[in-house]
Amino acid sequence: MSALRSLDEDIQEVLFDEAALQRRVRELAAELERDYAGLRPLLVGMLRGSVYFLSDLSRALRIPHEIDFMAIAAYGTRHAATGAVRLLKDLDEEITDRHVVLVEDIVDTGLTAAYLTRLLRARRPASLVICTLLDKRVRRIAPNLPLAYVGFEVPDRFVVGYGLDYRQLYRNLPYIGVLRDELLSPGGPP
Ligand code: IMP
C-alpha cells in the first residue's frame, strides 16, 4: 500500500459533497441565529466525530455563543449497542441555566444521544436540544428522541468523512461518502 494512496479511492459513492455540506451548515447556522439570538448558547460537541461540523457551524454563526466538548466511549460494538457509555471527558463549563445545543455528527440508534440528553438534563440547563448533521432514522431504537436541527437524513449505509470515521480514518474527507463494502470488516463496522 502506497503511503500516498488516496482515501478517495476507498469511497464507493459521495452522498453530500463539500458544497452541499457547507450550504447546509450555513442554513442550520441561520436557524440557530434566529432561535438563539440574545441567549448566548453553548454548543456542546461530541469528540471526535462532531469536531469538523461544530467548527464550521460555529464559524457560520454570527451570534455570541460558546463551545465545549465531551468525550464518551461506547461499551461493546456498535451493533451490540445497549446505550451504556462511559464518560471519558466531561464538559469544562457549568450548564445550569444555560441554553445548550448538543452537536452530533450522526444519530444512528439514538442510544448515545439519549444517554447524553439524560446526563445533561440532570444538570438543569435552561434548554437542551440536539443538532445533528446526519440522521440515520431507519436504525432508531431510542424512543422519543426529538432532533431539533437535522442536516440530512441518510440511508442505512456506513458513511465516512467530515468527521465520521472508520477505524479512526477518513474524518478529514471534505465530503460524506459511503465506504466500499469490501473495506468493512466481516460482520459490519465496529
Ligand atoms: P448511536 O448511539 O447508535 O446513535 O451511535 C452514534 C455513533 O455511532 C456516532 O456518533 C458515530 O460515532 C457512530 N456511527 C453510527 N453510524 C455511523 C456511520 O455510518 N459512520 C460512522 N460512524 C457511525
pLDDT digit string, tens, across residues 155-189? 999 999 999 999 999 999 999 999 999 998 876 66
Q: What's the whole-model pTM score?
A: 0.93
Give, for ligand 1, the residue of 13, 15, 86, 106 to mutate: max count of ligand atoms closer than 8 Å to Cβ.
106
| pLDDT at site 36 | 98
Mean pLDDT across the chain, nearest whole number? Answer: 93
Alpha helix (H) residue ranges in 37-141: 51-60, 111-121
CA dihedral (12, 137, 113, 38) positive or negative: positive
* Position in ligand 1 atom list of the atom nearest CA 158: 19
Q: Rounded distance, CA 168 to CA 124, Å? A: 34
Percentage of residues of the chain with pLDDT beyond 70:
91
If 0-12 CB within 10 Å is exposed, 13-18 middle and 19+ buried, where does residue 160 land?
buried
Domains of the chain from N-terminus onward: 20-76+83-154 (3.40.50.2020)
pLDDT in tens, 112-161: 999 999 999 999 999 999 999 999 999 999 988 999 999 999 999 999 99
Instruction: Quote the ligand 1 centre to 36 CA distance (angstroms).
Output: 27
pLDDT band for 79, please (50, 70, 90 cuts): very low
Q: Is 100 helix (H, G, I), strand (E, B) or coil?
A: strand
Strand 176-179 and strand 159-160: the pairing is antiparallel
Of 114, 70, 131, nearest to 95 (Cα)? 70
List C-alpha distances in Å: 18 to 14, 55, 151: 10, 15, 13
